Amino acid sequence: MSHVKNFLIGRVKFRVQGLPIFYLNKLRIYRISHIRIDNDIITFYIPLVHYFAVKKMVNNFECQVTENFNIFRGVNFLLNHLVLVTSIIVAVMVLLIADMKIYTVRVQCDDNNLVPAIYEYLTQLGVKKFMWKNKLQNFDLATELVDNFNNIAHAHVKIAGNTLVVNLVAANNHSIKQKTNFYAQYDAVIKEITAYSGTALVTVGDVVKRGDLLVADAYPDSVVATGEVAFENGGQISRLVIWII
């Protein structure tokens, strides 16, 4: 049981030969205990925290140290530095939590007159500073903005760090925005298909023919579609990736 106790409280056992008795008085400041004297051999225990100081004092004498507390050494270090370790853990947790929130909402539009109304609409939806990033999954902001504002032709939403960026393209003021269908203008292999409104009916890698319906019921300027198209020139066939709508 004594070995277990020594392990738990972090004691180190010293057996020193030839140590003068008056040295014990010097060592008492290091809380030595269980002193036993056998002829010229003195045995005593000290707390682990004073190990190096005592070892330095008796280093000139023949001594044997029983140091079986390597595991406890790590635990003892943590206990002695509990405040530091706790502070580091708390700081890491704060940083992780801080990165999970939105701290800035930035709206960019080529028509600055629309920006105040967009900010007000986002606030009504609950999209604002200090909201959790994962709550944005509850919104399809790009579609919401295009569907609810007739003078917005295209919207793109992204998170950059802790900033929510909303990029908007205003509709042509000289035309009424109406939904339409988009058809392939060439035989092609789809390389990119992005529909910020409407419904995309093809995916990347699909082979389409001229006249095939690519995106249904979408606003103008809200669809990006490119494809690899084969062109014949003087018997040579060239393949280029171009816009196909």
Residue 33 lies inside a defined structural domain of this protein: yes
Q: Which residues contact 123 (CB under 8 A, 6 or more apart)?
A: none
Residue 118 lies inside a defined structural domain of this protein: yes
Among candidate residues 70, 94, 128, the one where a domain is terminated = 70
Q: Which residues contact 79 (CB under 8 A, 6 or more apart)?
A: none
Instruction: Specify whether 161 is located in the same domain as 194.
Output: no
Decide: helix, strand or coil at residue 19: coil
Among candidate residues 22, 49, 70, the one where a domain is terminated = 70
Mean pLDDT of the chain: 80
Instruction: Specify whether 140 is located in the same domain as 193.
Output: no
pLDDT, tens digit (0-9, with 9 covering 90-100), for 4-49 = 444 445 678 888 888 888 888 888 888 888 888 888 888 888 887 7
When pLDDT is cut at 50, 70 and 90, the band that residue 174 belongs to is very low
Residues 119, 128: Cα–Cα separation, whole Å: 9
54-81 mean pLDDT? 67
pLDDT, tens digit (0-9, with 9 covering 90-100), for 105-130 = 888 887 888 888 888 888 888 888 88
Query: Percent of the chain having pLDDT more than 90?
Result: 11
Task: Name the domain count of the chain.
Answer: 3
Structure tokens at 135: 């709550």
Instruction: Specify whether 109 is located in the same domain as 157.
Output: yes
Q: Which helix (H) or strand (E) holds 77?
A: helix 70-80
Residue 27 lies inside a defined structural domain of this protein: yes
Residue 96 lies inside a defined structural domain of this protein: no
Structural domain for 29, as ranges: 2-70
Spatial CA neighbour of 185 closest among 243, 239, 244, 227: 244
- The number of angstroms, rounded, from the C-alpha of 30 to the middle of its chain's C-alpha atoms is 47
Residue 146 lies inside a defined structural domain of this protein: yes
pTM score, whole prediction:
0.42
Instruction: Specify whether 160 is located in the same domain as 184.
Output: no
- Whether the CB-CB separation of 244 and 209 falls below 8 Å is answered with no
Positions of E strands within the chain:
11-17, 33-38, 41-47, 62-66, 104-109, 152-160, 163-170, 180-183, 188-195, 199-200, 207-208, 213-218, 223-233, 236-243
Decide: helix, strand or coil at residue 57: helix
Instruction: Specify whether 165 is located in the same domain as 114.
Output: yes
Among candidate residues 170, 198, 218, the one where a domain is terminated = 170
- Whether the CB-CB separation of 241 and 227 falls below 8 Å is answered with yes
Decide: helix, strand or coil at residue 227: strand
Instruction: Specify whether 7 is located in the same domain as 34.
Output: yes
pLDDT, tens digit (0-9, with 9 covering 90-100), for 125-151 = 888 888 888 887 777 888 888 788 878
Instruction: Specify whether 166 is located in the same domain as 112.
Output: yes
Residue 198 lies inside a defined structural domain of this protein: yes
When pLDDT is cut at 50, 70 and 90, the band that residue 189 belongs to is very high
Q: What is the torsion angle, in degrees rounded to the nearest 10, for the CA atoms of residue 141, residue 143, residue 144 and residue 146?
A: 120
